[in-house]
C-alpha cells in the first residue's frame, strides 16, 4: 500500500530512530502517542490489514517479537505486567489499517488502573 505509514517505516521510506526488536517478518517501536511510558507497537513488515489476514505460518515470529518487546519494555520501565492489544476493523478502533499489536506496560495502581484499554 503506497499510503500506509507502517509500510513506509518497514520499507525505510520513513526513518525510525531505532527498533526495539526485529526479526524477518516483524519489528517493534515506541508508539508516537503512548498511553503509558514504554507503550510500543509490534508491526508486520508486509502489509496485512487485520490479524485475520496474517498467515498462521507467521505465528511463531509474531509471538517472538511480542515476547522480546515485552521483556525489554518491562525491564526498561520496571513494569509488573503488560497488555497485548490488537484492534481489528473500524468498529474496534483500528486507527491504521495495517496489522499491529500494542504492548502496554503496567504497574500496580498505575494511571490506567480501572480504565478500559484499547
Which residues are tagged catalytic? 100
CA atoms within 13 A on the CB side of 104: 19
State the alpha helices, DSSP H only, in the chain: 5-10, 59-77
Residues whose CB falls within 8 Å of the CB of residue 96, separated by 6 or more in sequence, listed in order: 4, 5, 6
Cβ within 8 Å of residue 64, ≥6 positions away:
23, 26
Collapsed DSSP state (helix, strand, coil) of residue 55: coil
Question: Whole-angstrom Cα distance, residue 83 to residue 101?
Answer: 10
Amino acid at each position: 500500500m503506497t499510503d500506509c505509514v507502517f509500510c513506509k517505516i518497514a520499507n525505510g521510506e520513513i526513518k525510525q530512530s531505532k527498533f526495539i526488536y526485529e526479526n524477518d517478518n516483524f519489528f517493534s517501536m515506541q508508539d508516537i502517542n503512548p498511553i503509558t511510558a514504554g507503550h510500543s507497537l509490534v508491526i508486520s513488515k508486509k502489509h496485512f490489514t487485520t490479524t485475520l489476514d496474517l498467515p498462521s505460518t507467521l505465528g511463531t515470529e509474531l509471538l517472538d517479537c511480542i515476547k522480546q518487546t515485552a521483556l525489554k519494555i518491562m525491564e526498561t520501565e520496571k513494569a509488573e505486567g503488560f497488555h497485548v492489544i490488537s484492534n481489528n476493523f473500524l468498529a474496534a478502533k483500528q486507527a491504521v489499517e495495517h496489522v499491529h499489536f500494542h504492548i502496554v506496560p503496567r504497574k500496580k495502581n498505575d494511571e490506567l488502573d480501572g480504565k478500559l484499554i484499547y
